[in-house]
Chain A
Amino acid sequence: MNKPARSLATGIVYALGEKPIFKPGDAIRILDRSPIGHYRVPIYLRGKVGKVETVIEPVAVDNEEEGFGRNAGSRRHYYRVAVPMSEIWPDYVGSPRDGLYIEVYETWLEKIAG
């Protein structure tokens, strides 16, 4: 198979939301919002600080928007996010390295100083 010439890949402009905003290792906060409706970010994690483990490929529909019948153009990335157990539960019993891992849609994350 012929490899496409490298020059083909330069100058390409990607659609909004096509490229992930966060990368593995980024320090993030899961947003603490309380919109009306059913949202799949568990309340026990809202406002908690962690880091991005992996970008989940491919982009996927925002199932929260889709739940209200709005899905046009809402494909974006999900991220596997790691949050230390001690960050969630101050009285946590176990190893300080124990962690909670969850996938969170891009619109529920903000970057913080690492």
Chain B
Amino acid sequence: MQFALLIYESPEAFATRKNDSYTGAWRAYYKALVDAGIFVGGDPLEVPETGTTVRLTEGRRRVQDGPYADTKEQLGGFTILELPSLDAALDWAARCPAASYGAVEVRPLTPELRRRITE
């Protein structure tokens, strides 16, 4: 079963991305995921200000600077893991560096919908 760990970070956390302790904790976490044989994919995202949001309202394009949601904590990255259960996914979410300075949302992927879309 595959789960996405969605990483939410505050502006303060985004500002510490160049610090050694930030990268050190994430490097260690990444290594643990790979060594456990559960890492499927994932990437960090650029800071939220670099986002541009597009939608069509009544046929008209609306383009907005910045991310979709106007919240303090913003999506900072995602990781996809292959795991046997939600319990195991929550376990890995708790170990994720962002769990202590931001938040980690765990969501199962939906392979059934994926199949209908891609086949």
A and B: bona fide binding partners? no
Interface residues of A (CB under 8 A from B): none
